[in-house]
Structure 1
Amino acid sequence: MASQRVFQLGLQRAAAPSFAKLQPAGRMVQRRLAATQSVNSAEGHEILAKQRLQRPVSPHLTIYKPQITWTASSFNRITGVALSGSLYLFGFAYLAAPTLGWHLETPSLVAAVASWPVAVKIAAKATVALPFFFHSLNGFRHLAWDLGIGFTNKVVIQTGWTVVGLTVATTLYYTLLG
């Protein structure tokens, strides 16, 4: 508050010579544009309670226009957690398999997947491919940023949509043809 007041006084003093004809010489005129009144503590708390009901919760996702930058950032984190979580889950299951009597060795997994219907195979491949390709391609984008490449708004938006397009293309390719 004090720094704002100092700034305002400085601006007034800087503008004072141009307004010298409007004011008495050497005298600064201060105007208060806000109405003030004295209230007791209970009334003050009541006023604050009413003001709090009027205030929006900020910052919140509902007040922002969706942009590719924060959408891609959110999905990059979500896909990273999903991929690493899946890896850890399978790793722990693989370690516990002999004790629990599960058959998670390669021939058993290949035979199990071979017996699935085609639609289930496609859905499983897409479920793995989409987060993998998005996280990988967005990772290259972040590596470029680490090198200081592509930090303008235009390039960030272009690369964001490029990552989305390449993710869809590579996911469809490896899901349907791979």
Structure 2
Amino acid sequence: MSTTTLKQALLATSLKPASRLGVHTTCFKSPVLASLSGLHQRRFNSSKTLKCSEDDALKLLNEQRKLRPSSPHFTIYQPQLTWYSSIANRVTGCALSGGFYAYALGYMALSGSIPLDSDTVVQVVASSPEWAKVAGKAIVALPFTYHTFNGVRHLAWDMGYLLDLKTSYTAGYTVLGLTAVSTVGLALI
């Protein structure tokens, strides 16, 4: 088969040139196909590399940064219940886990010098004034109950419930109400 016949066959079938397909001429074993002029790979670069000093490069970088679009600061938006509930859920989760870790580390580290066993903790709580007991229980109950009820809200979202704005806000206020009632109830037990 001659070279002109191959060129005509390629043009007749309207195939893309091999260079646009990423085909290298070395992929072909036939010297006839490798000699076709339309099958050579060509690259066109539109970017240039500038050789400049470090100070000039920093100046150029700072100029380019000025041209970047920036998103508005979050303080221009009206605060939403969903923001606060999300932040509070994270804070209460960190507070609960941090408290448990602190107690566990204290129990392990101070087991020889200061007793932190259950009997000692019960004796300390029993000898405390009533206001300290209520305050201590409220400090523990508030993050626990909020994180629990808001976790149920998140599970409802995961199952596809309460996703529209009205029911999401209703669920948020319900979580706040249940948290307040259960915190007071647990603190007064």
Q: Does TM, normalized by the shorter one, top 0.5?
A: yes
Structure with more contact order per residue of length (Cα contacts < 8 Å, sep ≥ 6): 1
- RMSD of aligned C-alpha atoms? 2.4
1:128 aligns with 2:158: no
CA shift, 1:73, in A, is: 0.4
Partners of 2:180 and 2:93 lie apart in 1 by 17
**Structure whose residues are more often helix by fraction:** 1
CA shift, 1:102, in A, is: 1.2
1:58 counterpart (58, 61, 72):
72
Give CA deviations for 1:84-105 in whole Å, capped at 9, x if unaligned.
Answer: 0001110111111224x11011
1:96 aligns with 2:109: yes
Would you say how many aligned residue pairs link Structure 1 and Structure 2?
A: 128
Partners of 2:139 and 2:169 lie apart in 1 by 26
What amino acid sits opposite 1:92 in the alignment? L
Displaced runs of 4 or more, over 6 A: none
CA shift, 1:57, in A, is: 7.8
CA shift, 1:58, in A, is: 2.2
What amino acid sits opposite 1:59 in the alignment? H
Give CA deviations for 1:109-130 in whole Å, capped at 9, x if unaligned.
Answer: 1101111111111110000000
CA shift, 1:107, in A, is: 0.9
2:164 corresponds to? 152
Give CA deviations for 1:111-170 in whole Å, capped at 9, x if unaligned.
Answer: 011111111111100000000000000000001111111101011000000000000000
Higher alpha-carbon Rg = 2
Partners of 2:138 and 2:145 lie apart in 1 by 10
SS in 2 for 1:98: coil
Partners of 1:73 and 1:125 lie apart in 2 by 24
1:170 corresponds to? 182
What amino acid sits opposite 2:108 in the alignment? L
What amino acid sits opposite 1:64 in the alignment? Y
2:173 corresponds to? 161
1:85 aligns with 2:98: yes
- TM (norm. structure 1) is 0.65
Partners of 2:111 and 2:97 lie apart in 1 by 23
1:74 counterpart (84, 87, 95):
87
- TM (norm. structure 2) is 0.62
1:12 corresponds to? none
Give CA deviations for 1:10-68 in whole Å, capped at 9, x if unaligned.
Answer: xxxxxxxxxxxxxxxxxxxxxxxxxxxxxxxxxxx9xxx8xxxxxx98222x2221211
In structure 2, runs of 5+ residues without a counterpart are: 1-61
